[in-house]
Structure 1
Amino acid sequence: MSPQVVRGGGGAECGMECGVSAYPAPPVPPRAAPLPAHPAHPALSPTERSPAKSGLHVNFSDKGEVKERREKFLTAKYGSHQMALIRKRLAVEMWLYDELQKLYETPKDSSNPTTEVEVDIDELLDMDSDDHRRRHLTDLLVDAKKSQKDVKKFINDLLDKAKTL
């Protein structure tokens, strides 16, 4: 009979338990000639079976509670052209974030909370014309702390960068 491996859970949070199976070995068919007697194994008592004759198993048991199962993620590789587009988009979004921070800068001693403005690049790109985009951005940025000249420059720069996407 060959050894048998029984698997439960696994991972760093589980302990490992090894032992001899409690199931009896299958009966051995009678043979014509009796087998020679083997000397008893010194580690086993006369009532225990030899590990070679019983079913071995390895049992993994949980030690303690498993709080959460690990989530599995699928990672994908993008082609070089797609990665270049992603990097370009990310660069524009980072620039947009930095410029909005500058437009809405408030003095540190001011007790006014900062205003949150969200500019959606996809929404801008879906608009029909630059005039429509410009009006939309002007309406969004009406509370900017910087001068109107700075706001107009920001809008023109954003529209130029959006055209490259």
Structure 2
Amino acid sequence: MRGFCCKPYGVCGANEVSIANMCFTKSYIGGSCFHSTQCQPSGGECRNNVCVANVQSDTASFCLNPSQQPERINGIVKNCAYTPCSPGYKCLFNQAYGQYFCCGQSDSGYDYNYGKIRMYPGTLQPLQCFAKDQCLWVDTPNCVYSYRYRQYVCCSTFNC
């Protein structure tokens, strides 16, 4: 063909994967991607154009120190690149997964359950507070920062 060599439509090379009859370069944990199928080993996910490991497995070692446990939310290992770690945990980078995980031990003196938040009457909006001693209600006496609401709120515990 006049010096040009073409491969058949949808047929990819050894370092590529076919997605919708288009070839994309395979990627690895921490590498760039457009589709989860590119992420190797299989089972990785493409999030924000970066291959990350699927972190729902119970058998994987997320924390490099074997005496530490990963912090989980609803069974999924917490990624501290987006959410801060709870007391007793530190944010550590795991090279194998290309992600940040909260690793450590739970603090028996800390209530990890979300507390009750004081809401504006008749709304679903939390009552915002600005000083530690501003929450004068018996059931919600703590003015704490809530990562869920992205503001200080009156709360029954120190975790809202």
For the superposition of Structure 1 and Structure 2, which TM-score range results when normalised by the shorter chain? under 0.3
Query: TM-score normalised to the size of structure 2?
Result: 0.21
- Could you say which structure has the higher strand fraction? 2
Bigger helix fraction: 1
